[in-house]
Amino acid sequence: MKKIIKTLVFKISMIVLPFFFQRSYLSGRWFCWPVLDGIFWAWRGVWWQKIFGFNRRIPWPVSPLCTVGDPRMVRFHPDNLDNFQSPGCYFQCGGPLSIGYGVYIAPNVGLINANHDPWNLDRHVEGSPITLGDHCWIGMNAVILPGVELGERTVVGAGSVVTKSFPEGHCVIAGNPARILRRLEKPKEEREGTS
């Protein structure tokens, strides 16, 4: 009986939810049977985004505890929808923001694309892009500043402030300002499989 109810909820949700969010975001691993996480996030989004107005203009489900600037500036794969459910995250989007596939963003992370104009603090200077390569992991309370590019498999330590790019990736960075602590090598079984 429980499985029948779950199936019914899933099927009805997949019919109704596209009236509230773009269908392209209601796909991927979070919306594949029997996973119901995406369905939960979407119904919570209907309540908080569409009824109460938190992040109302965002065309995908977003936690009411996140802030997302201009959604037109954000590019991500639907499998990464979980990053917008992490509490306290701030996606400024004053410039292009590209989130690679398989990226994990912990709570309270700030992705800052544009700074205030030092001559007029009521205005922002033109935004610079932030690019997170595939399979990056951004630790809790980290801040990534305008113009930063992180290459594939970059791990950002909790509380770090990333002021410059690390396009080569495959590294662990931490600190304020962030610097490379160590390089990441492929696991032995992956290295042997490619030879």
Active site residue 116: yes
Distance between CA 35 and CA 169 in Å, rounded?
Answer: 31
Q: Which of 31, 124, 2, 89 is nearest to 13 (CA)?
A: 31
Select which of 77, 116, 135, 170 is catalytic: 116
User: What is the rounded CA–CA span in Å between residue 63 and residue 48?
Assistant: 8
The whole-angstrom separation of Cα 62 and Cα 169 is 28
3-state secondary structure of 46: helix
CB-CB contact of 115 with 92 (8 Å): no
Residues 95 and 112 sit within 8 Å (Cβ to Cβ): no
DSSP 136: -
Provide the annotated active-site residues. Answer: 116
